[in-house]
């Protein structure tokens, strides 16, 4: 009997260890599944992209400002043209480089916003202003080096303006790609599971707020206690509460996130019988659905495609109707 107990005890311990390892593995697998599901959620992707966007903007602006500050001395020397130190022309020469740099920074700052929302540049003056500012800075920086045929000076004073030019041309493209990454993640999630993709991730403070609101509603919906009458008056030993003068604001539920398909559906509902595909423009999509300027071209393109398909189907149906066939036979 004692031998059986001695043999059974290690087997039970081993079985318990196997169960605990299986439980740990199951828990780790469940956590990994939740992490994978959240990593592809549009809100999480947007949060990560915004973090990367902030880092890119900071690094780009630091490089651009340092490059423009480096060129200031050479531009001042070019503008002063040997004027005595402290004289009026020498002091006024310091204003030339900030004048060009501030205009350039204003253009780059505006492009930072337009590229984020994928607003394309339809005019040519933005590009002309940037290129003129960079060209002027480059020429004033390297003029003395080219005049004296100083190769080392040409290379030294050419690097900062050219680097600023490359950064200014690359930054809007990077911001546009980051925005496109968020839109593609949203579209992929909508195609995989539209209902789940539209559900926002509830954070801890929002959950606590919802719990508090729900608890208050449950408390107010409870029947009166033993010490109270049904008419609302208190019995002896209880002081009735004063009714609040201002009614409490009801917690309104936040609307779900609208996807591209939702805007397309709203636009299709806004169509009438006389709407032609040529009138479906991004401006019309923004007016009909209230979508953003960056999303309106995609909404307009899909609505035009739907309208053309419906027109082709109507034409085919009319041509294959019995009356049409009889007329062709006659």
Q: What is the pLDDT of residue 325?
A: 55
Distance CA 186, CA 38 (A): 13
Q: What is the pLDDT of residue 39?
A: 74
Q: What is the pLDDT of residue 220?
A: 38
Q: What is the pLDDT of residue 165?
A: 92
Q: What is the pLDDT of residue 167?
A: 92
User: pLDDT (tens digit, 0 to 9) for every residue of the chain, 330 residues total?
Assistant: 445 545 566 666 666 766 788 778 888 887 777 777 677 777 888 888 889 999 999 999 999 999 999 999 889 989 998 889 889 989 999 999 999 999 999 999 998 888 878 787 777 888 899 999 999 999 999 998 999 999 999 999 999 999 999 999 999 889 888 888 888 888 877 777 666 555 565 544 444 344 444 443 333 334 444 444 444 444 444 445 555 555 555 544 445 567 777 888 888 888 876 677 778 888 888 888 888 777 788 888 888 888 778 777 777 666 765 565 555 555
Q: Hey, where are the domains in the chain?
A: 42-193, 260-329
Q: What are phi and psi of 171, to 5 degrees?
A: -60, -45
Distance CA 201, CA 41 (A): 9
Distance CA 34, CA 170 (A): 36
Q: What is the pLDDT of residue 197?
A: 55
* 215: its two tokens: 């608890």
Residue 92 contacts by C-beta under 8 Å, 6 or more apart in sequence?
A: 79
Region of 257 (left: φ > 0; alpha: ψ -120 to 50; beta: rest) is beta
| Residue 180 C-beta-side C-alpha neighbours within 13 Å | 10
Q: Which of 8, 162, 147, 140 is nearest to 74 (CA)?
A: 140
Q: What is the pLDDT of residue 237?
A: 43
60, 178 in Cβ contact below 8 A?
no
Q: What is the pLDDT of residue 154?
A: 92
Neighbours of 14 (CB within 10 A): 10
Give whole-number Cα distances, 198 to 20, 36, 254, in Å.
37, 17, 12
Residue 161 contacts by C-beta under 8 Å, 6 or more apart in sequence?
A: 67, 71, 134, 137, 138, 141
3-state secondary structure 128-150: HHHHHHHHHHHHHHHHHHHHCCC
3-state secondary structure 181-230: HHHHHHHHHHHHCHHHHHCCCCCHHHHHHHHHHHHHHHHHHCCCCCCECC
Q: What is the pLDDT of residue 327?
A: 59
145, 85 in Cβ contact below 8 A?
no
| Residue 223 C-beta-side C-alpha neighbours within 13 Å | 3
């Amino acid at each position: 009997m004692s031998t059986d107990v001695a043999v059974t005890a290690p087997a039970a311990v081993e079985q318990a260890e196997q169960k605990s390892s299986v439980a740990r593995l199951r828990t780790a697998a469940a956590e990994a599944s939740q992490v994978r599901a959240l990593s592809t959620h549009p809100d999480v992707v947007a949060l990560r992209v915004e973090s990367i966007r902030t880092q890119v903007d900071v690094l780009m602006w630091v490089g651009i400002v340092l490059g423009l500050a480096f060129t200031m001395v050479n531009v001042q020397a070019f503008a002063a043209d040997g004027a005595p130190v402290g004289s009026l022309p020498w002091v006024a020469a310091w204003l030339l480089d900030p004048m060009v740099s501030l205009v350039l920074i204003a253009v780059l700052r505006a492009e930072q916003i337009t590229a984020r929302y994928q607003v394309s540049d339809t005019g040519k003056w933005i590009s002309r202003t940037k290129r003129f500012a960079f060209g002027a800075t480059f020429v004033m920086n390297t003029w003395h080096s080219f005049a004296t045929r100083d190769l080392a000076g040409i290379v030294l004073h050419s690097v900062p303006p050219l680097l600023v030019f490359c950064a200014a041309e690359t930054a809007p493209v990077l911001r546009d790609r980051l925005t496109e990454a968020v839109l593609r993640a949203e579209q992929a999630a909508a195609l995989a599971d539209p209902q789940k993709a539209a559900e926002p991730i509830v954070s801890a403070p929002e959950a606590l707020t919802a719990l508090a609101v729900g608890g208050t509603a449950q408390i107010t919906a409870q029947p009166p206690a033993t010490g109270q009458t049904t008419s609302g008056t208190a019995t002896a030993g209880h002081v009735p509460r004063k009714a609040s003068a201002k009614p409490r604001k009801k917690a309104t539920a936040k609307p779900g996130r609208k996807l591209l398909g939702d805007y397309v559906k709203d636009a299709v509902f806004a169509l009438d019988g006389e709407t032609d595909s040529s009138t479906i423009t991004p401006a019309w999509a923004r007016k009909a659905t209230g979508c953003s300027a960056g999303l309106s071209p995609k909404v307009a393109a899909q609505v035009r495609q739907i309208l053309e398909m419906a027109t082709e189907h109507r034409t085919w149906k009319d041509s294959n109707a019995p009356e049409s066939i009889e007329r062709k036979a006659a």
